[in-house]
Amino acid sequence: MPAYTHLAAVTLYAGVPERACVIGISFIHERKRVLALLMLCQVNDYGEIPMANTKTLNDLFLDTLKDIYFAEKQILKALPKMARASQSEEGKAGFTQHREETQGQIERLEQVFELIDKPARGKTCEAIQGIIAEGEEIIEEFKGSPALDAGLISSAQAVEHYEIARYGTLIEWATQLGLKDVVPLLQQNLSEEEATDKKLTALAKASANAKGKRAA
């Protein structure tokens, strides 16, 4: 007697609050032998069966964490060049100090990876690569110009604003996901970025912008 397979799926309401349970029953008949495979799954709020590869907020959090981890490492490499290019002692000191802060931020992100039991691994961030590339163009095009420091500050603030947006989002998601130990680490990074942005604004208003108006 040839083997054949019959598949059937039936939806049962098995007392799960606000949920329907779907039981898929697979009957495999082969020479008087019957094998029943029962699979129980819970549908979502829309009455749909979740797919195995459905992405969740956890996945989005990890993806964005990898993004900012990559970004911080790229910034760490870029800051020494910006410090060397700066024409003011205040600018050089500011970029050097922020490099030290960035190293600490990377270490905190690695703690976050450890807390969520994931390897510390970055994901290529084209956005930060573009911002850094624009900063490098300013260094080349305005070399020796009185407007160079104003350009460097604007590039640095573009970086800061990207980081601030990323950390703000990650903090909100971490809170939503109940990652209580993660939030303070991200918050410290965010606070440092916001403080750096304010310092850059003050430096631009105090000297760099006015200096940039003068002819070389």
Does residue 47 lie in a domain region? no
- Whether 154 and 62 share a structural domain: yes
Report how many domains make up the chain. Answer: 2
- Whether 30 and 104 share a structural domain: no
213 pLDDT tier (thresholds 50, 70, 90) = confident
- Whether 36 and 65 share a structural domain: no
DSSP string, 5-36: EEEEEEEE--S-TT--EEEEEEEEEETTEEEE
- Whether 110 and 72 share a structural domain: yes
- Whether 110 and 159 share a structural domain: yes
- Cα 49 to its chain centre, rounded Å, is 29
Asked if pLDDT for residue 214 goes beyond 80, the answer is no
**Phi, psi of 49, deg, nearest 5:** -85, 120
Q: Give the DSSP H or E segment for 88.
A: none
Q: Answer for the pair 103, 209: CB distance below 8 angstroms, yes or no.
A: no
- Whether 36 and 62 share a structural domain: no
Does residue 49 lie in a domain region? no
- Whether 31 and 107 share a structural domain: no
Alpha carbon dihedral 169, 170, 171, 172, in 10-degree steps, equals 50
Does residue 136 lie in a domain region? yes
- Whether 36 and 89 share a structural domain: no
- Whether 149 and 96 share a structural domain: yes
Residue 120 is part of a domain; what is its CATH number?
1.20.1260.10
Instruction: Give the model's pLDDT for residue 31.
Output: 42
- Whether 111 and 158 share a structural domain: yes
Does residue 50 lie in a domain region? no
Joined together, the tokens standing for residue 149 give 């420091």
Does residue 153 lie in a domain region? yes
- Cα 23 to its chain centre, rounded Å, is 38
- Whether 33 and 79 share a structural domain: no
| Domain extent for 33 | 4-42
Sign for the CA dihedral angle at 181, 169, 190, 67 comes to positive
DSSP string, 179-190: -TTTHHHHHHHH
Q: What is the DSSP letter of 214?
A: S
Reference 193, options 153, 166, 155; nearest CA is 166
Does residue 48 lie in a domain region? no
Asked if pLDDT for residue 212 goes beyond 90, the answer is no
Beta-sheet pairing, 4-12 with 21-30 = antiparallel
**Phi, psi of 183, deg, nearest 5:** -55, -50
Does residue 77 lie in a domain region? yes
Q: Rounded to two decimals, what is the model's pTM?
A: 0.74
More confident of the two residues 52 and 202: 202
Reference 69, options 18, 111, 122, 7; nearest CA is 122
Q: Answer for the pair 166, 64: CB distance below 8 angstroms, yes or no.
A: yes
47 pLDDT tier (thresholds 50, 70, 90) = low
- Whether 78 and 37 share a structural domain: no
**Each residue's pLDDT tens digit, 150-203:** 999 999 999 999 999 999 999 999 999 999 999 999 999 999 999 999 999 999
Does residue 52 lie in a domain region? no
